Chain A
């Protein structure tokens, strides 16, 4: 069965672009447009990895990440932050909140896929 990835980004184009690469590599992708929607997708189904933007309306990526790490079923799910945010302070904030990797857009699809295959849970 295909491994499932939750992809959270307010940009439909980024969700589409990342989705093409992930689905092409054989992953099942569930999409959400912000952190609040992302939390709504954590409904008990097995999620093998989360990819999240940082700057989003309604609920930003760092807040979402902290909520995921508080969730009893998903606290160990690896999270990759995928963002235009290149500032070191923000990156360290993500690290402190429990992110496993930080990818700055624009990204090479293969770079993202390599990070996913390295971190995704069995």
Chain B
């Protein structure tokens, strides 16, 4: 910029003799001052356009980050490990259901065994009822013999005949009771047999149903595990990509800050050019070298960045890197 200004003034000065410009200044338009004002205005306009564009660009970045966060929250909350854990919990829960069904199956088998045991006791009861019948039959025979002997004894056996008659009556009652017991036991036995048969039939159907359910559950779990593994991978990948995008945005945020830096440098240049143009117009293009020197001095006092100072001193501007924080 310094070289451009010097070249401009050299070109302007070569068009007339020194000293003549001051005399002609009032009459002739001051092209130096006018040009400086136009340059400054062009720089200001460019600076403003650049700032507007960078603000719009930054807002777009903000919107992208917000949308990214929102999408991740809505669709892929949590992380891949969380999805895998959910799948494992589902597998444990469903296998518990299978185990519960197996426990019910075991209870039914125990019930069948108990019914079968009762049926076995029924056989013993029937045998005992039969024995009651045999005892009654023998008692009856005994009473009959006693009645015959009582008849042989005549009058003296009359009382004994009465007893023998009563014993026979008791024997008949016993035989009747034994027969009723046998009938009832038979009835109970038949019912228990039906219960046991029905229970065993249901148990067989249950075995089949539980085996089918377990197979289906394991198939579902296998498919579920496959899907959740794919989902977990997708979630992990989305989270990883989200992190990468945010890192890219963070880098971009650093680059976008150069607009402020460039804007400040251009602002200093435009201000200096405008001041030089004003001074030049007032002086009538006389002593432009001195005006330019003073203008550069004034501009140097406004520098804020290292590269401004380095360029002013004729050095190369170093690459600007993000700085660390100085804590006080």
Contact = CB atoms under 8 A, between A and B. Distances in A.
Interface of A: 9, 11-14, 16-17, 19-21, 23-24, 54-55, 83-87, 90-91, 94-95, 99-112, 114-115, 118
Interface string B234-261: 0000000000000001100111111111
A114 B55 CA distance: 24
Contacts of B51: 11-13
Nearest to A12: B55
Contacts of A91: 326
6 contacts: A11-B260, A12-B55, A95-B328, A100-B328, A110-B250, A115-B325
A90 B304 CA distance: 9
Interface of B: 51, 54-55, 58-59, 61-62, 65, 249-250, 253-261, 263-264, 304-306, 320, 322-328
A94 B328 CA distance: 9
A95 B326 CA distance: 10
Given A55-B304, A83-B304, A102-B328, A107 B322 contact: yes
A111 to B, nearest CB: 6
B320, B323, B325: which has the most chain A beta carbons within 10 Å?
B325
Given A11-B260, A55-B304, A106 B54 contact: no
A54 B65 CA distance: 29
A55 B264 contact: yes
Given A84-B264, A86-B306, A95-B328, A13 B253 contact: no
A17 B253 contact: yes
A13 B254 contact: no
A101 B327 contact: yes
A111 B253 CA distance: 12
B58 A86 contact: no
8 closest pairs, A vs B, by CB? A106-B257, A16-B58, A104-B323, A11-B260, A13-B54, A102-B326, A85-B304, A95-B328
Contact of A84 (B249, B255, B256, B304): B304
A104 B264 CA distance: 14
A20 B246 CA distance: 11
